[in-house]
Amino acid sequence: MDNKIQTRAIPKKSFVIMAILILLGAATFFMTENGKAQKVTRILTQLGYTNVSNVKVYGTTKVENKDTKIQGFKYFVIFTNLNTKQECRGFVLKDFKRKTAEDISCGDKK
């Protein structure tokens, strides 16, 4: 007996749609990552770190002060301070009242 299984080919239109969706997903990912780095760079400028590079945001958390009920975002960052040529890491906090806080420690590059 000859057991041939027939399969239906996927249309080219479906491949085009999948490729467009993959490209849109990748573009959205890179735009959000770059947007986080830009926000943190602005916050660092307000805190006095004017000459920074290699800003990497590796975590974002929504926080709330239990006493005042003011919410904000806490960004966990690593960046290079070009003025002192040190690698800094820690977190910066910006609440919805536009107040900023930091806990950053700087050390020599590894």
Give residue-wise pLDDT tens across range 23-56.
999 999 999 888 888 888 888 888 888 888 888 9
The bridge status of strand 100-107 relative to strand 86-95 is: antiparallel
Cβ atoms 15, 22 nearer than 8 A: no
Q: Which residues pair with 105 in a beta bridge?
A: 89
pLDDT tier at 86, thresholds 50, 70, 90: confident
Query: Residue 9: phi, psi to the nearest 5?
Result: -70, 145
Mean of the per-residue pLDDT values of the chain: 87
